[in-house]
Amino acid sequence: MSISSERNVGDILIIDLTREKVVKREVSPETVKRYLGGRGFNSKALFDMIPGRIDPLSPENVLALGNGTFAGTALPMTSRLHISTLSPLSGILGDGNAGGEFSAMLKFAGYEQIIVTGRAQKPKYVFIEDDEVEIRDAEDLWGLTTGETVDWLRDEHGDEVSVAGIGPAGENLVRFATTMVDKYHSGARGSGAVWGSKNLKAIAVIGTKGVEPADPERFYEMAKEDIDYFNRNEFVKRIYSVIGTHYGLIQWYPSWKYFQVPLSAEELPIGLRPQDLAEYEVGRTQCFSCPLACKDVYYLPSTGEYGTASEFESIYALGSNNCVTDTEAILRMEHMADEYGMDVMTLGDTIALARLLHEKGILSREELGGVSLEWGDAEGQIELIEMTAYRRGFGNKLAEGYRNFAKLYGEEALAYCYDVKGVNRGWYEVDFINGIFTLSHATSTRGADHLRGRSWAYWENDKLMDIEAVRRMLEADLPDYRKDPVGALIYGERACTLADSLGRCKGSINSWLQAVPLVWKYPVFKGTAMLLTAFTGMEFTEKDIIDATDRIYLTEMAFNVKQGIKKKHYDVKFPPEFTATERAKAQVRRHWELVDEYLRRRGCDVETAYPARETLEELGIGYVADEIEGKEFPEWDGPVREVA
C-alpha cells in the first residue's frame, strides 16, 4: 500500500478564496517522514507561504487545518484537528487544537490538510463530500452562532456532516475568536478572526472512504492494546471519565482574583468544586475514537440550553480568576463563548485584567461607559461577554485581547500584563518546579502556553495515573531528569509536537501516558515508531521521530523570527510589586541562564535566538536558514495592523 494512496495518507486541499479555486496536491512519502502530519504539516506550510510580517487579518494570511497522521483509525484519541495561522492575537505563530469528529471525517474524505488563502468577496462556506469540493454562498449563515451554523449545515447536508467554523466573534474579528468544531470543540489563539477576515464561515465535510494501514494486523494489534490500557486503568475509570478536567480544580491551583492567589483544594469555594459542577451534568461525551469521556454534557435550567465541556480552563478563567463563584453563571458564560466562538482563557483573563486596571485606577469609570467591573459580578460579566463578541462599547476594547487591550492604556497597564509573546498565562515564580514552568512559557512557539511541553516536563499528572509506567519511562530515557530541567523540557516539547502532529490528544489532564501512544509499554518514542512503521509502510526509528519533532519546532521558531521575535521576547513577567525585589531579580537571572542553556541545546544562536544554520542543515532544512540567516526583521510588538 503506497503512502499517498487514498486509504492511507490523503491529499492536501488548497482553497484560494480570492479566485474561488480549489487545488488538490498529493503528499509525498518524504514529507510524511519529515513532518509527520497535523501541526508538522501546518507549521511548514505557514513558514513556506507567509513571507514576513503581514497583517494577520489581511488576505495574505494562511489558515491551515491538519488532521494528524492517525486520524480515523482505531488508535484511540487520534481525532484532534490542528488549526494554524499567523495569530491576530499575538502576531506570531498561532495554532490551536480541537477535537470533535472533523479530523476523522476529513481523513475519511481523503484529505490530510486544508490550506485556505485569500479573501472571498462575500460570505462563503466550503462543502466537502469525498472528492467533491464546493465553495458555496454563506450569506444565510453569516451572523449565526456556532450551534446554529452546525444545525443549518446538518439540515442542508445531512446529520453525518462534521463542521469547523466560526460564530459572531470570528465574523467581528475578535482577536481571540476560535475555530469551533461540531459546536463545542475549540481551537484557540485567534484563528476564528482569520476565518472572519477571509469571509469564510465554515467548512462542512462528509467522508465515506476507509483508512487502511500498510500492515493492518500489526497496527490494529497495537491500537487495541492501547484501547485496552485505558479501558483497564483505574484512574481513568474512576476519575478521568467521571470528572474530566475538573480534576484540575483539585490539583492545579486555579487562580483567584487575577492571579493573586492560587487556590488549593481546601480553599476551593463552594460553587467551583467538581461536585458542584456535576449538579448540572446530564451525561458525558468525548471526541471521535476516544475511550475516555472527559467532557461533561450540562443542562442550564435558566435558559434551557445544553452545553459541553465545561473544562478547568473555563472555570478558572471565567470563574475564580474573576472571583465569580456562581456555578450556573460560569457554565452559561462558557456556553456563550462556545456559541460566539471565543477562547475562554483569553476572554476570562482579559476581563480579569480589566477589573484589576479598574481597581488600580488605570482604567477610568468614564472609559467603561456604565459597565460594572466589580470583582465577582457574574451578571455584568455575562453582559461583557456579549459586548465583546459583537465589539459593542467597552467590549470593542476587550475584543482586542489581553496584551493588545493593555496596550490601549499605556505602560502602566502593560506592567500588569503577564504574557509571553502576546499570549496570556498568568505569572509564576521562576523556581517553581526547577524553573521549568516559566521557561516553558518563554520557549513555547505560540506564546505562553501549558500545552507546548510544560506539564510533560515534570510529570505533573502521570504520577497518579500509572507510577510504574512513569518510572520505566524515566529510567529508559531521562535518568538525570532531576538535575536537568532543560533536557526535561525539550523532551516535553517533543512529546507535544509529536501528539499535535499525529492528531493524538495530549490528554484532558496533560499526561505522557495519553499524549504519546504506547509510552506505558515502550521507551518514549518507540511505540510511536512501531505504529508509524505499521501504518505507513515506511521504516520509522525513534531518531526519525525526534528529528521530525525538532524539525517542526525549529521551523516554528524560524517563523517567529520572521515575525520579529528576538531573544528579549523569551522573558518572564512578574507583577510590578514583585519585580523590584531582590528575590525577583535573582529569579530573572536564573531564568536567563536557563534560556541560554535551552537555546544552546536546541541548536540556536544564544545571542539572537535564531535557529543556527548548522542545526537546520543537520535536520535537512537548510532552506529555513537561507530565509533568516544574517537578516534583520523589525522587532515584534504585537500583531501588525494595516490600518492604524
Task: State yes or no: residue 158 binds another protein (CB under 8 A).
Answer: no
Q: In this complex, which beta carbon is closest to another protein, that of residue 49 or of residue 227?
A: 227
- Compute how many other C-beta atoms are within 10 angstroms of the C-beta atom of residue 43: 31
Minimum CB separation of residue 246 from another protein in Å reads 7
Q: In this complex, which beta carbon is closest to another protein, that of residue 238 or of residue 589?
A: 238
Q: In this structure, what C-alpha cell is assigned to residue 213? A: 494501514
Q: In this complex, which beta carbon is closest to another protein, that of residue 48 or of residue 212?
A: 212
d(CA 59, CA 198): 6
Q: In this structure, what C-alpha cell is assigned to residue 367? A: 472609559
Minimum CB separation of residue 241 from another protein in Å reads 8
Residue from the set 285, 380, 386, 407 that interacts with another protein by CB under 8 A: 285
Buried b (16+ CB within 10 A) or exposed e, 295-315: bbbbebeeeeebbbbbbbbbb
Q: In this complex, which beta carbon is closest to another protein, that of residue 216 or of residue 369?
A: 216
Task: State yes or no: residue 471 binds another protein (CB under 8 A).
Answer: yes
Residue from the set 239, 505, 558, 640 that interacts with another protein by CB under 8 A: 239
Stretch that binds another protein, among 37-45, 119-127, 202-210, 362-370 (CB under 8 A): 202-210
d(CA 189, CA 411): 24
Task: State yes or no: residue 190 binds another protein (CB under 8 A).
Answer: no
Minimum CB separation of residue 145 from another protein in Å reads 13
Q: In this structure, what C-alpha cell is assigned to residue 523? A: 521507551
Stretch that binds another protein, among 80-88, 215-223, 521-529, 554-562 (CB under 8 A): 215-223
Stretch that binds another protein, among 46-54, 285-293, 341-349, 438-446 (CB under 8 A): 285-293
Q: How many binding residues for another protein (CB under 8 A)?
A: 69
- Compute how many other C-beta atoms are within 10 angstroms of the C-beta atom of residue 480: 9
d(CA 597, CA 299): 49
C-alpha atoms less than 13 angstroms from C-alpha of 180 in its C-beta half-sphere? 32
Minimum CB separation of residue 76 from another protein in Å reads 7
Stretch that binds another protein, among 55-63, 278-286, 352-360, 384-392 (CB under 8 A): 278-286
Helix (H) or strand (E) holding 544: helix 542-562
Task: State yes or no: residue 7 binds another protein (CB under 8 A).
Answer: yes
Q: In this complex, which beta carbon is closest to another protein, that of residue 222 or of residue 621?
A: 222
Residue from the set 31, 85, 178, 241 that interacts with another protein by CB under 8 A: 241
Hey, is 21 helix, strand or coil? strand
Query: Rounded to 5 degrees, what are φ and ψ at 132?
Result: -85, 125
The site string for another protein over 289-328 (x = CB under 8 A, - otherwise) reads xxxxx--xx-x-x----x-x--------------------
Give, in order, the Cα–Cα distances in Å from 388 to each of 295, 345, 385, 639: 26, 14, 5, 19
d(CA 303, CA 336): 11
Minimum CB separation of residue 136 from another protein in Å reads 24
Task: State yes or no: residue 464 binds another protein (CB under 8 A).
Answer: yes
Minimum CB separation of residue 242 from another protein in Å reads 4
Task: State yes or no: residue 459 binds another protein (CB under 8 A).
Answer: yes
If we measure between CA atoms, which residue out of 426, 401, 397 comes closest to residue 317?
426
Q: Which residues contact 102 (CB under 8 A, 6 or more apart)?
A: 67, 81, 162, 163, 164, 181, 182, 185, 205
Task: State yes or no: residue 128 binds another protein (CB under 8 A).
Answer: no
Task: State yes or no: residue 231 binds another protein (CB under 8 A).
Answer: yes
Q: In this complex, which beta carbon is closest to another protein, that of residue 251 or of residue 608?
A: 251
d(CA 548, CA 353): 39
Hey, is 39 helix, strand or coil? helix
Where do we find the cell 509525498? 28
Residue from the set 41, 125, 247, 259 that interacts with another protein by CB under 8 A: 247
Residue from the set 4, 5, 58, 251 that interacts with another protein by CB under 8 A: 251
The site string for another protein over 412-451 (x = CB under 8 A, - otherwise) reads ----------------------------------------
Stretch that binds another protein, among 196-204, 213-221, 326-334, 576-584 (CB under 8 A): 213-221
Task: State yes or no: residue 474 binds another protein (CB under 8 A).
Answer: yes
d(CA 609, CA 592): 12
Residue from the set 281, 400, 449, 544 that interacts with another protein by CB under 8 A: 281
DSSP 92-159: SEEEEEE-SSHHHHHHHTTEEEEEEES--SS-EEEEEETTEEEEEE-TTTTT--HHHHHHHHHHHH-T
Minimum CB separation of residue 275 from another protein in Å reads 4
Task: State yes or no: residue 584 binds another protein (CB under 8 A).
Answer: no
Minimum CB separation of residue 265 from another protein in Å reads 7
- Provide the H-helix boundaries in 341-435: 344-359, 365-368, 378-389, 395-398, 402-407, 410-414
Task: State yes or no: residue 159 binds another protein (CB under 8 A).
Answer: yes
Helix (H) or strand (E) holding 11: strand 11-16
Task: State yes or no: residue 224 binds another protein (CB under 8 A).
Answer: yes
Stretch that binds another protein, among 115-123, 367-375, 464-472, 619-627 (CB under 8 A): 464-472
Give, in order, the Cα–Cα distances in Å from 57 to each of 130, 135, 350, 526: 30, 21, 21, 41
- Compute how many other C-beta atoms are within 10 angstroms of the C-beta atom of residue 68: 32
Task: State yes or no: residue 382 binds another protein (CB under 8 A).
Answer: no
Minimum CB separation of residue 324 from another protein in Å reads 20
Minimum CB separation of residue 12 from another protein in Å reads 21
What region, left, alpha or beta, does residue 625 occupy, with left being phi > 0 and alpha being psi -120 to 50 degrees? alpha
Task: State yes or no: residue 340 binds another protein (CB under 8 A).
Answer: no
Minimum CB separation of residue 463 from another protein in Å reads 5
Site residues (CB under 8 A) for another protein, limited to 56-115: 72-74, 76, 104, 108
Give, in order, the Cα–Cα distances in Å from 248 to each of 96, 173, 515: 20, 31, 17
Give, in order, the Cα–Cα distances in Å from 271 to each of 319, 531, 590, 643: 10, 44, 39, 44
Where do we find the cell 463563584? 325
d(CA 217, CA 347): 46
Task: State yes or no: residue 533 binds another protein (CB under 8 A).
Answer: no
Minimum CB separation of residue 29 from another protein in Å reads 20
Task: State yes or no: residue 282 binds another protein (CB under 8 A).
Answer: yes
Give the footprint of another protein on this chain (CB under 8 A): 7, 72-74, 76, 104, 108, 147, 159, 182-184, 208-212, 216-217, 220, 224, 227-228, 230-231, 235, 238-239, 241-243, 246-247, 250-251, 265, 273-275, 277-293, 296-297, 299, 301, 306, 308, 459, 463-464, 467, 470-471, 474
